[in-house]
Chains A and B, each alone.
Chain A
Amino acid sequence: MQNEVPPRLEMTGITKQFPGVLANDDVSFAIKRGEIHALLGENGAGKSTLVKMIYGIMRPDAGEMFWDGAPLKARNPKEARRLGIGMVFQHFSLFEALTVLENIALGMDGGLSSRALEARVREVLKAYKLTLDPHRVVSTLSVGERQRIEIVRALLLNPKLLIMDEPTSVLTPQEVTQLFKTLRQLASEGCSILYISHKLNEIKELCDTATILRGGKVVDECDPSKETSKSMAEKMIGGDLKAVAKGAERQFGEVQLAVRGLSLGRGHDFGTALKDISFSVHSGEIFGIAGVAGNGQNELLAALSGEQHAKADGVIELCGKPVGTSEPSTRRKAGLCAVPEERHGHAAVPDYSLANNGILTARHRRELVRSGLIKHSASHDFADEIIAEFGVMATGSKATAGSLSGGNLQKFIMGREILQTPEVLVISQPTWGVDAGAAAFIHQALVDMAQAGSAIVIISQDLDELLALSDTLSVINEGVLSAPMDVENASIEEIGLLMGGVHGETADSAKTLPTKPEAEHAVQV
């Protein structure tokens, strides 16, 4: 034996075949101890599939893995956790009806009492400066908050290898900075990290090595600090990346969407009440809404889409007509389409085929239904059109939405709404989990749509995205929308300050959750 330390995890010839898709094809690479290793690739390149096999959820068809030099025999996630493998899932592995603490307890194997576990959770939250109320029920949380649960759960395990499948896609910049500090510290203590993200500037900042997958194969390995985001994106795509072209002099038309004094009570106990929100969006304008997750974005989207009704009809005006109390389908017919942030179950039905998912929102605008009957071939044609135009990687219009990789489903949903050419489009997190190439494509499609005369509202946590796309920008904080500002003249500092409310800095201090007397909670673990 040499004095060389075996890598923490080594994979040789990993192959995984799904019906109709070769998700991983002879993948080999190694992760050293204390290394932060990026796994890059387009949507559907097979990244999630690969890490699921490491974690023991799926078994490879061929190939071997070695853990500290010995064959890795984790046959299920429990054994993987025992070895010290922690995982943050891309599609959260959370239980909606259970509390945060119960969710965390389910992901831990030690027989910790609920009180002890809560104490540890609070410790970790404090150490990593994350805000989360352990007693909240998950269904009342925003995606950003859900993401934090997954991260805390993984950190609590003191892992030797931490796999993070797009952990930052819905975190705020402050949270990301904090997370990176944590990860660097973990790495310096010898923990290896396998990091998947589509945010290439993050990869550049954080990772020591990057392995690039394309079509399930390893195509390259590089040192991110020596690359640019663009060069890495091009390695992933295997082609050129075009920058988003925003038409130089754009003319705004009539006001298409006007919101006047929209106030809404908290939908559930932990919702955010909307307070006197007013704004208007012209035809041709892209209106960005920035803000830390859980500050009323979901409520605002629901009020605009029609899931929640405003108090009076005139509060929301669409192309001059009051729609404040009409149903989502009425608003769609009248020209307002909305895309909620949660893809699985809210924006799409995972068990439905793509064609059926298309019918769900486009039945009127694309005339997919005639006198109550579905037009079978038209609906399939529509799904095929989305697949072709938006480059969705799917086996066809009959594939279920749930079988698509995260980014591909997002592309499909975006395509479904954009192809309906609505007068007003409201979108939450348009490029959540979408790869650089596809994000550029979606951005371009949105800009083109605006150019063609639609009014677009983008609710996003990705400031870079908002600054690049929008003409006008507002910040939502605790249900209050700031006065709109011209993006040209907006300063990042000012926006950051608005996002943190009056307290500035991070949002933790400004937005502490309602705390309840602890003794009341006999927690169940």
Chain B
Amino acid sequence: MSTTLLIAMLITMIGASTPILLAALGELVVEKSGVLNLGIEGMMLTGAVVGFAVAYTTGSPWLGIGMAALVGAAVSMIFAFLTLSLSANQVATGLALTIFGTGFSALFGSEYTGKPLELFKSVFPAGLAEDPYLRLIFGHSPLVYFSFFMVFAVWWFLSRTRAGLILRAVGENDISAHSIGYSVIRIRYGAVAFGGAMAGIGGACFPLLLTPQWVEGLTAGRGWIALALVVFAAWRPLRLLAGAYLFGLIATVELYTQAAGGVFRIIPTELWASLPYLATIGVLVLISLGRSTNANAPACLGKPFEAGH
């Protein structure tokens, strides 16, 4: 296989992984605060359609991403209000959020069907991207660099900052956190909003990074993969990165082999298509079989908190 092809594959892989990575990082923070938001898929779809619409009408992908983040966060606030302020069941509310996002994006996006959008390409001078190796470094969309940065930022926030410590404490034992004076609900609102924004941006990656046109159900279940990744990565940002890239890698290999045809035809397309999902989960399950993974699970995950006045 030629180097150029390999590098092209790598770049495709990184792009394919980015939306999952972003959404999963958001969910990781949400879960670390003790909240289980199953609405990622819905928030991603909302972000995708808003990102598409704004980028299409204004011509600015930056604006599209910004709006996707805002709307993602706004939608997550519905979830936060129901589950945190009204103590509604988090699982049911999260599922409802997914259904809402799916419906909203289908309705709102129908007028954009078939309209072309320009991909959000590298912002570096084109000259830098000619050499195949340099391309591997400079040839990505700003969204990719953003996702790298966020892996580091989330890791640093959770493990190195006081605010991160407080967030983990709230997810670990909400009653203790309350009794030493932390506002459990307020901290969880913040985490959910962050998760919503990240899912929104992750959703916006689909039209801006992967398929520059609107189709219904654009995210194709990636939100669920993001959700599973968080658990199997044992709430660790770096493992999340590995998991997301593994998914991207297999998805890319699948794309290329399908295009190549020939011997790869022996395996039915359906199996190829399900391979990234199966393999990612499989590998992560194997990793999480090791000890000390569950120790990292937030003890209050999904448990509603009510202060005893």
Interface residues of A (CB under 8 A from B): 52, 56-59, 76-81, 89, 92-98, 102, 105-107, 111, 139, 522, 524-525
Chain B hits for A57, CB < 8 A: 178-179, 308
A524 touches B159 (CB 8 A): yes
B180 touches A96 (CB 8 A): no
In the assembled complex, B86 has its CB within 8 A of some CB on chain A: no
Q: Taking A57-B178, A59-B309, A92-B176 as contacts, is the C-beta distance between A97 and B296 under 8 angstroms?
A: yes
A102 touches B165 (CB 8 A): yes
Which residues in window 136-192 of B have CB below 8 A to A? 159-162, 164-166, 168-169, 172-173, 175-183
Give the nearest-CB partner of A92 in chain B. Answer: B176
Chain B hits for A81, CB < 8 A: 181
Q: How far is the CB of A415 from chain B (nearest CB, A)?
A: 25
Q: Taking A94-B173, A97-B172, A98-B169 as contacts, is the C-beta distance between A77 and B180 under 8 angstroms?
A: yes
When chains A and B are docked, how far (Å) is the Cα of A59 from the Cα of B309? 7
Point out the residue from B159, B179, B183, B308 that lies within 8 Å of A93, measured CB to CB: B179
Which residues in window 69-93 of B have CB below 8 A to A? none
Q: Mark B278-298, 1 if CB is under 8 A from A, else 0.
A: 000000000000000001100
Give the nearest-CB partner of B168 in chain A. Answer: A98
Q: How far is the CB of A308 from chain B (nearest CB, A)?
A: 16
In the assembled complex, B299 has its CB within 8 A of some CB on chain A: yes
B165 touches A96 (CB 8 A): no
Chain A hits for B178, CB < 8 A: 57
A95 touches B179 (CB 8 A): no
Point out the residue from B164, B173, B308 that lies within 8 Å of A95, measured CB to CB: B173
Interface residues of B (CB under 8 A from A): 159-162, 164-166, 168-169, 172-173, 175-183, 295-296, 299, 308-309
B162 touches A58 (CB 8 A): no
When chains A and B are docked, how far (Å) is the Cα of A522 from the Cα of B161? 12
Chain A hits for B177, CB < 8 A: 95, 106
Give the nearest-CB partner of A79 in chain B. Answer: B181
Chain B hits for A139, CB < 8 A: 295
Chain A hits for B309, CB < 8 A: 58-59
A-B interface contact total, Cβ < 8 Å: 65
Give the nearest-CB partner of B161 in chain A. Answer: A524
Query: Can you name 14 extra interface pairs (CB under 8 A) apart from A77-B179, A98-B165?
Result: A52-B179, A76-B181, A80-B181, A81-B181, A92-B176, A93-B179, A97-B168, A97-B296, A98-B169, A98-B172, A102-B169, A106-B166, A106-B180, A524-B165
When chains A and B are docked, how far (Å) is the Cα of A57 from the Cα of B180? 8
Chain A hits for B161, CB < 8 A: 524
When chains A and B are docked, how far (Å) is the Cα of A107 from the Cα of B182? 10
When chains A and B are docked, how far (Å) is the Cα of A94 from the Cα of B179? 10
Give the nearest-CB partner of A74 in chain B. Answer: B181
Point out the residue from A77, A79, A93, A524 that lies within 8 Å of B160, measured CB to CB: A524
Chain B hits for A79, CB < 8 A: 181
Q: Taking A97-B296, A106-B169 as contacts, is the C-beta distance between A525 and B162 under 8 angstroms?
A: yes
Point out the residue from B181, B296, B308 that lies within 8 Å of A56, measured CB to CB: B181
Chain A hits for B162, CB < 8 A: 105, 111, 525
Q: How far is the CB of A162 from chain B (nearest CB, A)?
A: 15
When chains A and B are docked, how far (Å) is the Cα of A106 from the Cα of B168? 11
Give the nearest-CB partner of B297 in chain A. Answer: A97
Chain B hits for A92, CB < 8 A: 176
Give the nearest-CB partner of A111 in chain B. Answer: B162
B308 touches A106 (CB 8 A): no
Chain A hits for B164, CB < 8 A: 524
When chains A and B are docked, how far (Å) is the Cα of A106 from the Cα of B171? 13
When chains A and B are docked, how far (Å) is the Cα of A488 from the Cα of B161? 57
Q: How far is the CB of B129 from chain A (nearest CB, A)?
A: 38
